[in-house]
Amino acid sequence: MRRFWRLVEEPMDSTAVARDTSLEGSSARWPSEIYDAIIRDALGDRILDGHEPLAGHLSAADLLRAYAAARVSRTMDVRERTLQAQGRAWFSIAGAGKEIIGWAFARHLRLSDAKLPYYRDRTLLLCSGVTPEEMFLQTAGALSDPSSGGRQMPSHWGYRKLGVVSQSSPTGSQCISGTGLAEGIVRATKLGVPLDTPWVEDSVVYVSIGDGATAEGEVEEAIREAVRTSAPVIFLIEDDRYAISVPVTWNIPGGDAAALYRHYEQFGALVLQCDGTDPVAADAAAYQAVSYARARNGPVILHALVTRHMSHSSTDTQDQYRTPEELADEAARDPLLRLSKLLRDAGVLDDESEKSLDVGAAKLVSEAAVRAVDAPRPDPDRLLVDVTACDFNDRKRENAPDATGEPVEMRYALNRALKEAMEADERIVVYGEDVADAQFPGLPGKGGVFHVTRGLQFSFPNRVWNSALAEATIIGTAIGHSLAGLLPVVEVQFRDYLHPAWQQLVDEAATMRWRSNGDWTCPMVIRMAYGGYLGGAGALWHSESGVGMLSGIAGIRIVCPSNATDAA
């Protein structure tokens, strides 16, 4: 057994301090109606009336709802795998073993909280208000799939009304935009800029990844940035000990994610670890994490020890690389079994009532799947809809500029244009490496390596700032700021240095509108310099334009001005 760092078993000493319910979601806030119906059909109408704590802060009603939702989620995992085997779905990926930690966060998050989950978070989404039928519509690639209109793989969530930001496939790449969204909510609130729907002033951001994704450099960038800015973001690491077939010790030194990030506590982060298959411990940890972030104390890193009861996906067979003994040991930690035992020991469930619950869950799932697999598929003629905001050929013609004006260098024309734009639009924020002015009075400051942004920070306090020297962080957080309701204008000093941000630009920003079927967008401007640097002294590291490499990427527009007028 690994040593737990700050192991969470109880939310707090209930004999000393009561929970501040203003900070949590409470069980009444998550839409449990369909699960309540299953419970009442199996156990009668009055079974959900009691609210006395049965375990920790959880009542029998809470635990029954957890069981019903978890059973529906697990049954959907199995059903989706069956549909794929029958040729009625292309792919399936399960959330088995993560049901309890997902349910726990759904209890404490609000619909106005941002959720950037990963593909194991089926139960979180079910408990946030997504119906089984809506999930199966994505499994079937149906036109009416509310996440993507049939454009994405199964378990690639996205529901604006529930605060679920459209998800991509690269593991961990949503972490930077999650940090940026948390930063953007705080900054927009401070500036008095209206937040985008559905965020509110005290929204927090939830981001989940698996243990393997902690090896991604962009995950580390996201956490470091969140700690630096005290962003109200929660990073949940769902550790089932494997990244497909690669053991956790190959991705995390020592195999302990909480220990890996413990050093960030001295800078204001809260680092927690819990047994994510234990409903009491999971509920306690989720409450503590959400409360800490909502109080604007800083980011949270929660390492939840969970299980994986099904192979990684429909293209994987885990008994080819995991021993029978290991699989049996993991089966004994099944969160559904733990829930069942807890309810049975309390006299709430017996064989007959549990079977009735399971039958009710299976009926709900079966009926949802039947309806979804027969739904119409997307129209191929609409393939290019929502690649960008409008067709490039439909752009408005601009009047020819007045040629009698004052001659001015391109960089100074850009500076004037930025200032005018910021005066006209309160949403615009500018950041990047070295773009800010001096922090000491009396000095002109840097204002960019070409002085394009000189004076802007003095003119627009809190709307211009320096970023860390991390291009992926610049582009990724710009996605988040845009999702919050701001309009980022960010700078990468030279086109040659864009490549560390390639995944954020290509896989995240460029695809956001299309992959969400137009439901989510992240408009931004990225400025980069190229060519003619110091008479060629910059060589290939400061001179390449690389336009051809960018021009083939759907979802972005390239502007390459040749003169100051066009640039402005």
Total domains present in the chain: 2
Its pTM stands at: 0.94
Q: Output the six-digit token pair for 279.
A: 């409903």
Same-domain pairing of 292 and 417: no
Tell me if residue 452 falls in helix, strand or coil.
coil
Same-domain pairing of 316 and 438: no
H/E element, 480? helix 471-484
Same-domain pairing of 331 and 460: no
Tell me if residue 308 falls in helix, strand or coil.
coil
Residue type, 339: L
Structural domain contains residue 237: yes
CATH number of domain containing 472: 3.40.50.970
Domain region containing 113: 21-31+94-336
- Count CB-CB contacts under 10 A for residue 59: 18
> Cα separations (Å) of 401 from 404, 408, 417, 423?
9, 14, 14, 21
Structural domain contains residue 507: yes
**CA–CA separation, 446 vs 452, rounded Å?**
9
Structural domain contains residue 312: yes
Identify the domain boundary among 289, 307, 336.
336
Identify the domain boundary among 312, 336, 360.
336
Structural domain contains residue 87: no
Same-domain pairing of 416 and 290: no
User: What does the angle CA 522 – CA 231 – CA 164 come to, to the nearest 5 degrees?
Assistant: 45
Q: Output the six-digit token pair for 554.
A: 């759907």
Same-domain pairing of 270 and 407: no
Helix axes 217-229, 174-191, angle to 10 degrees: 20
pLDDT in tens, the chain (568 residues): 333 345 565 543 333 334 665 444 443 357 889 999 999 999 998 889 878 899 999 999 999 999 999 999 999 999 999 999 998 888 889 999 999 999 999 999 999 999 999 999 999 999 999 999 999 999 999 999 999 999 999 999 999 999 999 999 999 999 999 999 999 999 999 999 999 999 999 999 999 999 999 999 999 999 999 999 999 999 999 999 999 999 999 999 999 999 999 999 999 999 999 999 999 999 999 999 999 999 999 999 999 999 999 889 888 899 999 999 999 999 999 999 999 999 999 999 999 999 999 999 999 999 999 999 999 999 999 999 999 888 777 777 777 777 777 888 889 999 999 999 999 999 999 999 999 998 887 888 899 988 999 999 999 999 999 999 999 999 999 999 999 999 999 999 988 899 999 999 999 999 999 999 999 999 999 999 887 666 656 667 777 888 888 989 999 999 888 888 888 7
Tell me if residue 331 falls in helix, strand or coil.
helix
Structural domain contains residue 368: no
Same-domain pairing of 313 and 414: no
The values of phi and psi at residue 360, to 5°, are: -65, -40
Residue type, 416: R
H/E element, 304? strand 300-305
The pLDDT value recorded for residue 544 is: 80
Q: What share of the chain is helix, strand, coil (3-state, %, to 5)?
A: 45, 10, 45
DSSP state of 400: P
Structural domain contains residue 355: no
The pLDDT value recorded for residue 12 is: 37
**CA–CA separation, 39 vs 394, rounded Å?**
55
The pLDDT value recorded for residue 15 is: 31
Identify the domain boundary among 336, 365, 383.
336
Same-domain pairing of 154 and 279: yes
Same-domain pairing of 302 and 401: no
Rg of the chain over CA atoms, in angstroms? Answer: 25
Same-domain pairing of 535 and 456: yes
**CA–CA separation, 50 vs 72, rounded Å?**
23
Same-domain pairing of 312 and 408: no
Same-domain pairing of 315 and 427: no
Structural domain contains residue 347: no
Structural domain contains residue 409: yes
Contacts made by residues 375-379, CB under 8 angstroms, sequence distance 24+: 375/137, 375/140, 375/142, 375/143, 375/144, 376/142, 376/143, 376/144, 377/141, 377/142, 377/143, 377/150, 378/141, 378/142, 378/143, 378/149, 378/150, 378/151, 379/143
Same-domain pairing of 222 and 291: yes
DSSP state of 509: I
Residue environment code for 390-412, b if the CB has 16+ CB neighbours within 10 A, otherwise e: eeeeeeeeeeeeeeeeeeeebbb
The pLDDT value recorded for residue 229 is: 98
